[in-house]
Amino acid sequence: MLSRTASNLFWLGRHMERAETASRLFEVGARITLLPNTAEGYQNEWQSLLRATGVSDRFAARYDEVSEENMEKFMIFDRDNPSSVASCMHDARESGRIVRTALTSRVWDALNVSWQEMRGMEPGQEDAADLADFVARHAATVHGAIDGTQLRNDGFHFMKLGYALERADSTARVLDVKYFVLLPRVEFVGSGLDSYQWQVILRALSAHRAFHWAYGDDVSAGRVAHFLILNDESPRSLMTSVLEALSHLDALVRRYGQDVPHSARDRAQALADRLGSTDIEDIFDEGLHEFLSDFIREIGDIANRVQADYFHGRG
């Protein structure tokens, strides 16, 4: 398969997943600001969210005031923000258009429709939860079309690999928001506020029901973290995402043979092994933020290796 085609398929997956992340993060922000608040006001939470996702400078350059209204524009609609929902959906659709012939018509239809509908929307019409639903629904349609209709060839694996790596990255970032939000207020750890914030995180990942099935209603930091990091039944956990990425990388190695470089697979295998031998106490001892930062770097490294192994074409 042409390297560029593979790269476009990979990024199609990443951008669709990233669009969903942006809307989830926005929803987290909106929910956290619904809390009875401290004197500092809600602006602080939005700031934390911007910092956690590494886009505060970009925001500051374009908007005067940190408000929900501006955050909605920035995170959902702003085409100058490459991580906004609109940008990601556009980019996913554009990748799809470039490799149109590698997609089934169902996948293309779903991509096309999601972008057309997104383009028809305007800021201020929907609340955060509805926006997140809207995006999740379209993302699910595209994903479903891929799973249901695409041939299981290398192109399929590149797409799914994009999804898996992006999901690993995004779950880590959403978790990290909690760290940034809580950082100035260690005294809240274990309080009702703390528990509420963890619940918000779970909701943002559409994982609150699953969590309650698995752990009952004791929403403690340790349990939520375990659920979102190490539990391989949790659909968005870091563990699940890494194992999924690994399975597609394995499939590529089987398909291409050992002569084609596979440093990304080896690295993903090492990461999966490491997660498998870690328990949640180790993570808290190391520091959740440090652990997550390290994990995000690892995922970045695997993505770079995918690029070097497959997208460069070695010329």
Partner 1 sequence: MYYNEMLDGTKVREAYAGLSDWVDQMPAEIRQMKQAEAEALFRRIGITFAVYGEGGDPDRLIPFDMMPRIFTQSEWRRLERGIKQRARALNAFLRDVYGRGEIVRAGRIPARLVYQNDAYEKAVVGFVPPRGVYSHIIGIDLVRTGRDEFFVLEDNCRTPSGVSYMLENREIMMRMFPELFRGNRIEPVDGYPDLLRRTLETVAPAKCQGRPRVVILTPGHFNSAYYEHSFLANLMGVELVEGADLFVEGEFVYMRTTEGPKRVDVIYRRLDDAFIDPLTFRRDSMLGVPGLMDVYRSGGVSICSAPGAGVADDKAIYTFVPEMVRFYLGEEPILKNVDTWTLWKDDDFKYVMDNLGDLVVKEVHGSGGYGMLVGPRSTKAEIEEFRQRIKANPSNYIAQPTLSLSTCPTFVNEGVAPRHVDLRPFCLCGERIELVPGGLTRVALKEGSLVVNSSQGGGVKDTWVLSE
Binding residues (CB under 8 A) for partner 1: these are 1-6, 94, 97-98, 100-101, 105, 108, 154, 158, 252, 256, 260, 310-315
Shorter beta-carbon distance to partner 1: residue 10 or 77: 10
CA distance 109 to 107: 5
CA distance 237 to 241: 6
Cβ atoms within 10 A of the Cβ of 181, count? 24
Shorter beta-carbon distance to partner 1: residue 203 or 267: 267
Shorter beta-carbon distance to partner 1: residue 68 or 250: 250
Shorter beta-carbon distance to partner 1: residue 196 or 311: 311
Contacts of 156 (CB under 8 A, 6+ apart): 146, 150
Q: Which two tokens stand for residue 60?
A: 């500051």
In whole angstroms, the minimum distance from the beta carbon of 249 to partner 1 comes to 12
Q: CB-based burial of residue 277 (10 Å sphere; 0-12 exposed, 13-18 middle, 19+ buried)? A: exposed
In whole angstroms, the minimum distance from the beta carbon of 158 to partner 1 comes to 8
Q: Is the dihedral of CA 226, 231, 233, 236 positive or negative?
A: positive
Q: Which two tokens stand for residue 199?
A: 């619940």
Q: Which two tokens stand for residue 5?
A: 């085609």
47 DSSP 8-state letter:
H
Shorter beta-carbon distance to partner 1: residue 116 or 220: 116
Shorter beta-carbon distance to partner 1: residue 51 or 100: 100
In whole angstroms, the minimum distance from the beta carbon of 13 to partner 1 comes to 15
In whole angstroms, the minimum distance from the beta carbon of 4 to partner 1 comes to 5
Q: What is the DSSP string of 258-315?
A: TTS--HHHHHHHHHHHHHHT--HHHHHHH-HHHHHHHHHHHHHHHHHHHIIIIISTT-
In whole angstroms, the minimum distance from the beta carbon of 100 to partner 1 comes to 6
Integer angstrom CA distances of residue 220 from 92, 103, 192: 37, 43, 10
In whole angstroms, the minimum distance from the beta carbon of 188 to partner 1 comes to 49
